[in-house]
Amino acid sequence: MTIENISCNKSFGGWHKQYRHQSQVLNCQMRFAIYLPPEAANKPVPVLYWLSGLTCTDENFMQKAGAQRIAAQLGMAIVAPDTSPRGDEVADAPDKAYDLGLGAGFYLNATRAPWNRHYKMYDYIVHELPALIEANFPVTEQRAISGHSMGGHGALVIGFSNPHRYSSISAFSPICNPSNAPWGIKAFTEYLGENREHWRQYDACELLKLAISEVPVLVDQGDADSFLDTQLMPHSLSDIATGKGYPLDLRMQAGYDHSYYFIASFIEEHLKFHSLYFK
């Protein structure tokens, strides 16, 4: 598969690069960013996949989180894909709402028209993008996954569903129980239909109830987050983990909100967490 480099910046001795490519899964052109630490010049390195939230692109995390410094120290690559398919032919919300359509792919495989032509973000993140990264960059098959808000939902769902593919999972302010949250209900109804049984495969709480294989999980949540009780509901996830003895650490952080100020404050601890589980 052909990839085209569109930007390149040196950072902490490594390289931040942006690429675009034609996605076979999403039927459109996609963009992703990758940070390669200095160590990647000499040998393959493990990869953290970062999934961003509603309205974001590959640029938000790479420009705002300040992750490159610690990734360079740990010898870890970071891959940040876009949050949804893009392009003139890609379906969008009729009212251009921020929580549906472009920028709101929800990391699932849509089954309803017109969304099912392009909105296959689950398959893109789990299969197509890693294959592309591993074929074109000096990385190993060691993977971790993390994300924020809608991306935190994606990281949890993808990690729980594919425990053999990821050594660890983390999330900031994730949508933990989207089947019962306004953002999730709206997106799932449009993308998957009204049968809630079809939603369970993309709900972290439902997946955790059934989880057999254990993958270490770290979740950070600000207690001043305006979405905490209505959209995110992290204690629902934590209660399930506690009940079955699953290795999930929910940390409530006093005074922090939903912003990248929060992410930047704790991203170093998340990268070090993932580094512990890379072989």
Please state which architecture CATH assigns to domain 3-276. Answer: 3-Layer(aba) Sandwich (3.40)
Hey, how many other C-beta atoms are within 10 angstroms of the C-beta on 83? 26
The residues of the chain scoring below 70 in pLDDT are none
Q: Tokens 């809630």 sit at which residue? A: 196
What is the rounded CA–CA span in Å between residue 119 and residue 113?
10
Which of 118, 153, 258, 274 is catalytic? The answer is 258
Residues 6+ apart with CB under 8 A from 83: 51, 52, 53, 54, 55, 56, 57, 103, 104, 105, 121, 150, 151
Q: Classify strands 14-23 and 169-172 as parallel, antiparallel or unpaired.
A: unpaired
**Alpha helices, DSSP H, located in 141-256:** 150-161, 182-192, 204-210, 234-244
108-142: burial string, b at 16+ Cβ within 10 Å, e else: bbbeeeebeebbbbbebbbebbbebbeeebebeeb
Give the position of tokens 């009204």. Answer: 194
User: Residues 23, 52, 149, 167: which is the catalytic one?
Assistant: 149
225 tagged catalytic: yes
pTM of the full predicted structure? 0.97
Whether cis (ω within 30° of 0) applies to the bond prior to 178 is: no
Q: Which of 139, 165, 128, 132 is nearest to 277 (CA)?
A: 165
- Would you kindly state where each structural domain of the chain is located, as residue ranges? 3-276
Active site residue 258: yes
Q: Which tokens in the block code for residue 250? A: 């929910």
Q: What pLDDT, on the 0 to 100 scale, is given for residue 279? A: 79
Q: Which residues have a Cβ under 8 Å from the Cβ of 142 and sit 6 or more positions away?
A: 46, 47, 167, 278, 279
The residue annotated as part of the active site, out of 82, 92, 220, 225, is 225
Q: Give the integer Cα–Cα distance in Å for 128 and 126.
A: 7
Q: What local confidence, expressed as pLDDT, does residue 235 receive?
A: 97
